[in-house]
Copies of this chain bind each other. A is one copy, B any other.
Amino acid sequence: MLTATQKRFLTDLFPGDACVLTPEETCAFGADSSRIFAQPWAVVRPETLDQTRSLLKWAHEERVPLFPRSRGTNVVGDCTPKGGGVVVSALRMNRIVEVSGDDFVAVAQPGVVTADLQRACEAKGLFYPPDPASVRISTIGGNVSTNAGGMRAVKYGVTRDYVLGLEAVLPGGEVIRTGGRTHKNVVGLDLTRLFVGAEGTLGFITEVTLKLLPRPEASASVLAGFAALEAALDAARDVFRAGILPVAMEFMADEVLRALAKVTDAPWPQGTQAVLLLKLDGSGETLPLELKRLETALAPSSPSFMARGMGADEEALWEVRRLINPASFRVAPDKMSDDVTVPRGRVAEAVARIRDAGREAGLTVLVFGHLGDGNLHVNIMHDAAGGEGERARTLKETVLGIVLDVGGTMSGEHGVGLTKRPYIDRQIGGRELEIMRQVKAVFDPHGILNPGKAY
């Protein structure tokens, strides 16, 4: 809890509604999309670098834990002030500082919503590729802190691949500036990428410089159904074998298709057991040819169904993908979702074993996601009120065991946060963990930044 003096410091530094102290108001900042709740001691909303510096100097000296946050879309509890402390909202640092079509860079404050930045880039014929599913509600600061992935990662990579430099305030109040605005830079240790995916544990990011690409002229997608999961995975392999690098390659297994059928008129015929959804981009002139190549690559796996879409038709194809989450709740009232990644060649085995484990547990498991990079989303559907919560938790651990057993990782894009922290030593060795904590201590010797998270 904060002392009266500490509270006075905060209200002086953050006048008006920039500091919130009453439990009734701060409680809205106590949880993120993980729905794990902890009561914040206070919430502050810095607007300037100077305010942020004063805050981090004070917190460092007073040993007050700080929990950075912007839109709180994190699903592993990264924004939850567990153990108590001050939530620091980045939402008033939400300026797109610059979008440069000459340098192909954007400079943004952490509170900028990613879709807003994407639009600002598109308006200048530029392209910021990272595209997490939360793009319309999550922010650049959060995306950088979790190394957000998304749909387009197969061709364009993840957030890390676009961060050229950043400004951050360290505990103690010092400002560091890493990297720069050049597309190549190999001077000194790469502190920039060390911040990417660090889940807010090293410093409070106040500005990010991002690499942009020229905007592709057009895109097109293909939705294809298959009589068996194996056929879908064979088709995916043949796409890569044909030398095609799609922007996105999503898949949905049987249980997902059945859930979707409850909320929409599914375009695939009866007997379809798996669906692939692929996106290409390029020029308007060449895309029809590329689509034909893609369809040719899929053909040997005898798709039960194929639909192609360009322009408005393309969006319609992606609608089914977006319906997975609402459809999940037609299967069971509660969802325990997971984000794991396996080596691309082990997807078939991992999916089969996860489904078997689900059957054994008597729970429906929806497996879908970013097939192109082996990034599987696993929704364990259950009825918590009906007493299935414990079984779901056990199944989640079983899934983790399967994933690690096939050489995978417990998180492909959501991070470790609070919820996966208990399992981290099943994936990361003791010495490696110790190094991570010692590196953190270089930035944050008193451990005030997002304590208890990530590693």
Using CB atoms and an 8 Å cutoff, list the residues of chain A in contact with chain B: 100-105, 125, 146-147, 149, 153, 157-158, 160-161, 174, 176-178, 180-191, 193-194, 196-198, 201, 213-217, 237, 240-245, 282-283, 285-286, 289-290, 293, 341-346, 370, 373-375, 407-416, 420, 424, 427-429, 431-433, 435-436, 438-440, 442-443, 454-455
Contact = CB atoms under 8 A, between A and B. Distances in A.
Given A161-B157, A180-B409, A432 B243 contact: no
A177 B407 CA distance: 13
Contact of A184 (B374, B427, B436): B374
A10 B285 CA distance: 64
A410 to B, nearest CB: 6
Contacts of A182: 341-343, 373-375, 407-409, 412
A375 to B, nearest CB: 5
Given A125-B243, A147-B190, A187-B420, 13 more contacts: A102-B343, A104-B344, A174-B431, A184-B374, A184-B412, A187-B416, A188-B455, A191-B436, A215-B243, A217-B242, A243-B283, A285-B293, A286-B290
Given A290-B286, A343-B103, A189 B185 contact: no
Nearest to A176: B432
A24 to B, nearest CB: 35
A105 to B, nearest CB: 7
A343 B345 CA distance: 39
Contacts of A346: 102-103
A189 B240 CA distance: 31
> Which among A242, A420, A439 has the greatest number of chain B C-beta atoms within 10 A?
A439
Could you say which of A125, A158, A182, A455 has the most chain B C-beta atoms within 10 Å of its C-beta? A182
The residue among A149, A188, A282, A435 with the most chain B CB atoms within 10 A of its own CB is A188
Shortest Cβ-Cβ A-B pairs, 9 listed = A102-B345, A184-B412, A183-B373, A103-B343, A286-B286, A188-B455, A182-B341, A189-B436, A214-B240
